[in-house]
Amino acid sequence: MTGFSMNKIRFRYQKTGKAKYISHLDLMSTMQRAFLRAGIKLKYSEGFNPHPYMSAALPLFVGCESLCELMDVGIVSKDLPDQYGHLLPEGLKITEAYIPVRKFNDIKWIGINCRLHYFDRPSDEIAGMLIDLFNKTSLVIPKKTKSGTSVIDIARFICDVKVSSGDAVEITAKISAQNPTINQNDILNVLGSGGSILTPDDIEVKRIEIYDADMLLFK
């Protein structure tokens, strides 16, 4: 448990349905109020403007769902709280609470599921084209950074890609979580690089699991 005190608790939670439209800042406020309503005494920083010790791993894009979000919270008690007793809005659900043993910077990969909707194009044909696209050894896209827009080859930062078709075209894959961070906009840029026919009319993205550099489940 190096680097952590016994009064830091890690919550694993889901963010689905209507909750996917809650911004990161609003989410932090919502979780803080929920913990207080549940009787969990939070630890606060010192000084003129004290704030609770709360940090979320890899904040989500607004509109993206997740089954595997993580949040570290400093609490006064050394006892694990009841993770099922919090009053949360619809779509937010805490599934686990435990004492963390690893830091968030050990997260390397995120498992995602993308549902692509094509209103006027046959899904099986699109699925075949996507398989060919992701089998390429190079996927060069424009990517926004803090210093502007650069060009990056993200082929080695997307792996274990599987494509299936039905009422929508589904892509499951593992994408780099950090250094670099690959996000849903990058996935859309990849689709655009395959031609406008692969650009979906609608896309739903969901995080389904997180992994370390060895592709082991991160806790």
**For residue range 122-162, what is the model confidence (pLDDT) as tens digits?**
889 999 999 999 999 999 998 877 777 888 999 999 999 99
Residue 84 clears pLDDT 70, i.e. is over it: no
Which CATH number, 3.90.1170, 3.40.50, 3.90.660, 3.30.70, labels domain 107-211?
Answer: 3.30.70
Q: Average pLDDT, whole number, for the chain? A: 89
Helical ranges in 22-119 per DSSP H = 24-37
Nearest to 205 by CA among 99, 74, 100, 117: 117
Query: Residue 86: its pLDDT value, please?
Result: 61
pLDDT mean over 44-55? 87
For 172-190, how does the pLDDT look when each residue is reduced to its tens digit (9 = 90+)?
A: 999 999 989 998 889 888 9
Assign domain 8-105 to a CATH class. Answer: alpha beta
Phi-psi region of 73 (alpha: psi -120 to 50; beta: other; left: phi over 0): beta
Asked whether the domain spanning 107-211 has the same topology as the one spanning 8-105, the reply is yes
For 7-23, how does the pLDDT look when each residue is reduced to its tens digit (9 = 90+)?
A: 888 999 999 999 999 99
- Give the separation between CA 217 and CA 170, rounded to whole angstroms: 22
Where along the chain do its domains lie? 8-105, 107-211
Interstrand relation of 65-74 and 8-15 (parallel, antiparallel or unpaired): antiparallel
Contacts (Cβ under 8 Å, ≥6 apart) of 86: 34, 35, 37, 38, 40, 94
Q: pTM score, two decimals? A: 0.88
pLDDT mean over 50-57? 91
Angle at which helix 123-134 crosses helix 184-193, to 10 degrees, equals: 100
Is the backbone peptide bond immediately before 52 cis, with ω within 30 degrees of 0?
Answer: no
Do residues 112 and 173 make contact, with C-beta atoms less than 8 angstroms apart?
Answer: yes
Other beta carbons within 10 Å of 150? 10
* Dihedral over Cα of 90, 91, 96, 102: its sign: negative
Q: Which tokens is 29 given?
A: 């406020």
Residue 193 clears pLDDT 80, i.e. is over it: no
Residue 46 clears pLDDT 90, i.e. is over it: no
Give the CA dihedral 82, 86, 91, 96, nearest 10 degrees: -20
For 101-116, how does the pLDDT look when each residue is reduced to its tens digit (9 = 90+)?
A: 999 999 999 999 999 9
